[in-house]
Structure 1
Amino acid sequence: MRRSIGETVILRYWNEGFEVQLKCQVEYIDNRTQMVIVSKQAEVLNIEFRNIYETL
């Protein structure tokens, strides 16, 4: 996942019991908080490591 920083990827993850598939750019990976920070257009999202189950 770390080599994906700055790249556009498709993340598949769980959010409140629902499966989400998101095409986004990986901005930062924070090991301390276990979060992946991604952007899609002008929106920035924080996704927990434990919720991500696939990266394409």
Structure 2
Amino acid sequence: MLHYAVVFFVIALIAALFGFGGIAASAAGIAKILFILFAILAVASFLFGLIKKP
């Protein structure tokens, strides 16, 4: 999931470089959502891993 966030961020940077503002904003928004989702799932996985150990 983090890979897809980075891919969309790179797409946003390239689109902004060439002047496609709408596409850049959309790709940056998608990247932000994916990164937040990744962070939440990573923290949840870490916490459940701590709880599950005897």
Structure with greater strand percent: 1
Relative contact order, higher structure (CA 8 A, sep 6+): 2
TM-score if structure 2 supplies the norm length? 0.22
Give the helix-richer structure, 1 or 2.
2
